Structure 1
Amino acid sequence: MKEKNFGPLFADFRKRKGYTAKDTAKNIISVQFLRLFEKGDSDINLTNFYDLLDRINVTFEEFMFEYEENSVDKDISQAEQILDAFMNERNSIKFKKFAASLNESYQKKGNIRDYHFYLVTEAIYDNIFLTDTQTNIEELEKYLFDCETWGKYEAFIAANIYFHFSSDSLVVFAERALPTQLTSDSTAIYSIDFYLHACLSLISRNELASAEYLLKKFNDRFAAIGKPQYLILTIFELFLQGLLKIQKGDPSGKETCEDIIEFFESTLKQTDYANALHHLFNLIYGKSPLGKNRRNRMK
């Protein structure tokens, strides 16, 4: 991937905002140095760069949104949109063609991100279309184990192949993914999404002690989250608490899950999401002591 220089894009922002080079550089750097930076002929330290952005009233997030055509954020967003579309279509041919294009790009450019996304696509394909196949995720798993500090990239990978992890690996990765503090909303949402799906997977495998441990840890850390963007994840955590109770044979879990499904269906009009939750509910309930007791009573 070819990296762009910050300078030319900064110059574009400055001109669009209507600031002169002199007014922008004042008391931060010299006008001559600013011009070199904007031409791409000189680097700038991070402190000065933030000061310049502040001077022209542009946030770092706004700048980065336009910055890199091949940024991690944009690559993740594009891959996610493509994979979601193919999963909704259940289109195995498109999956294979996308995987092949990623592998071809990796062979030509040597970009490890393309290779990781290729392996992720293959893993999702195998899970959907070849359910009896044991997918080789050793390289991705090794990468995640070796990476001590997780960001959006690692959480994205893990969230898309979590169903292939062993229960022990799920616990290790979930603890590594859970942010110690919510510094970046975007990264935190990806991390929490994987964390909660790891809990779901453990509940479905009847690894209840591990699931309960992770859910308690999440609650202890994020019970007081008040940001609207975390609402869906917070409600999903309550849904998982309900599933956990169902697996333990507690009837109150069934009521919790049904109330949440009804909330998404009738109140929020999120029919697709409500149906997805209902599908998960049926899968867990059917295998739970509650479901078995119900079938026995019907005999």
Structure 2
Amino acid sequence: MNDGNLIKKLRIERNITQKELAAGLCSRSTLARFENNNGNIQAYLLINILERMNITFEEYASYKSNNERSKKEVLSENFSNKVLNIQHGETYLQSLYQEYNQTNDLYYLHLYCQGRIILSKVYNKEINLANEFKIIKKHLDNVDNWGFFELTMYTNSLYLFDYDQTIYQFDQVIAQINKFSNSIKIKHLKIHFLVNSIILSFEHEKPKLTTKYLEILHASSEHTDFILGRIFWKFFTGLQNAQNNHTIFDAEVTLSWLHSLGYSNLVENFRGIQELVEAKNNI
């Protein structure tokens, strides 16, 4: 369904007249022309029209796609499980790289690199993504205002960057994320970025940075919509206390609780992180 027809449908469903919807935004004739002929409409006007109908842009995009999943959505579904599949994981990663070569779309290259990073962490495998990293870094360097894609790509590729550089860029990345303070999707991405940053701070034995990042994670997970962030905060705080006191961190109560809720993959992630940190610090 085109934009004009969709706006008209959504307007009528909500019992809003063209005059009411256009008031203070544009002329009624402009709206009518758009609805009837699917003419061009400026982005700011479309956003204001949607806001007046109490429809988010994410909802509108979903209506417009008519719930048809894109190729990217299909390929990235159950991503970690596909990567870690013993029989088909390598084939899956190669299909992502092939898709990148055919389309030159960095989305597929970023997924490929993320998969290789996961394998290196889970199975302690060496990876060589120097050429892929150059391509990703060049794109990020050329974009001044990072959007959701750039922030996601940086977050998922964080382990490929020089660690000192990630420290230097941390505040800048948080500032970029905070520009989208009204986006629930980017707030969840912020949690993901902080979790990866904390893991790296443990790996590189930077306790002051760990404390700083934990404070931001705690503040960023205050709302229950971001309870996973608070769970990570609690877990990492326990690890840090054990590290400072040279004691063993007993996470079994928390992990058993998460397992009972069906979050078995998350439990395995926590176990892997704990083993890595304790091995690194001889706890």
Same fold (TM over 0.5): yes
**Tell me, what secondary structure is at the counterpart of 1:174?**
helix
1:229 to 225, 231, 251: 225
Q: How far apart are the structure 1 equivalents of 2:202 and 2:167?
A: 12
Over 3 Å counting, the alpha-carbon distance change for 1:18 and 1:133 in structure 2 is same
Offset, 1:32:
2.1
1:83-118 deviations in Å (ceiling 9; x for gaps) = 334224241112101221232022xxxxxxx1x223
Q: How far apart are the structure 2 equivalents of 1:210 and 1:76?
A: 35
Offset, 1:148:
4.6
Matched residue, 2:111: 121
Aligned 8 A contact 1:243 1:281 in 2: yes
Matched residue, 2:202: 203
Offset, 1:254:
0.5
Q: How far apart are the structure 1 equivalents of 2:236 and 2:41?
A: 49
Q: 2:271 corresponds to which letter in structure 1? A: H
Offset, 1:238:
2.2
Q: How far apart are the structure 2 equivalents of 1:209 and 1:238?
A: 17
Q: 2:168 corresponds to which letter in structure 1? A: V
Q: How far apart are the structure 2 equivalents of 1:76 and 1:187?
A: 19
Q: How far apart are the structure 2 equivalents of 1:194 and 1:79?
A: 22
Aligned residues between the structures: 269
Over 3 Å counting, the alpha-carbon distance change for 1:37 and 1:226 in structure 2 is same
1:62 to 59, 64, 70: 59
Q: 1:286 corresponds to which letter in structure 2? A: A
Over 3 Å counting, the alpha-carbon distance change for 1:189 and 1:206 in structure 2 is same
Q: How far apart are the structure 1 equivalents of 2:107 and 2:49?
A: 35
Matched residue, 2:150: 154
Q: How far apart are the structure 2 equivalents of 1:126 and 1:28?
A: 49
Over 3 Å counting, the alpha-carbon distance change for 1:45 and 1:134 in structure 2 is closer
1:32 to 29, 32, 38: 29
1:164 paired to 2:160: yes
Q: 2:255 corresponds to which letter in structure 1? A: I
Over 3 Å counting, the alpha-carbon distance change for 1:146 and 1:234 in structure 2 is farther
1:242 paired to 2:235: no
Aligned 8 A contact 2:83 2:92 in 1: no
TM-score by length of structure 2 reads 0.77
1:174-231 deviations in Å (ceiling 9; x for gaps) = 3333244732221111122122212102212333343334334544xx16x4321211
Matched residue, 1:280: 273
Q: What 5-or-longer segments of structure 1 have no aligned partner?
A: 107-113, 291-299
Aligned 8 A contact 1:25 1:34 in 2: yes
Q: What 5-or-longer segments of structure 2 have no aligned partner?
A: none
Q: 1:100 corresponds to which letter in structure 2? A: Q
Offset, 1:51:
4.7
1:140-170 deviations in Å (ceiling 9; x for gaps) = 1243345454442122112322222221133
Q: How far apart are the structure 1 equivalents of 2:225 and 2:154?
A: 21
Q: How far apart are the structure 1 equivalents of 2:61 and 2:168?
A: 32
Q: How far apart are the structure 2 equivalents of 1:146 and 1:240?
A: 34
Q: How far apart are the structure 1 equivalents of 2:239 and 2:23?
A: 60
CA RMSD of aligned residues (A): 3.3
Q: How far apart are the structure 1 equivalents of 2:143 and 2:24?
A: 40
Aligned 8 A contact 1:14 1:56 in 2: yes
Q: 2:213 corresponds to which letter in structure 1? A: L
Aligned 8 A contact 1:148 1:176 in 2: no
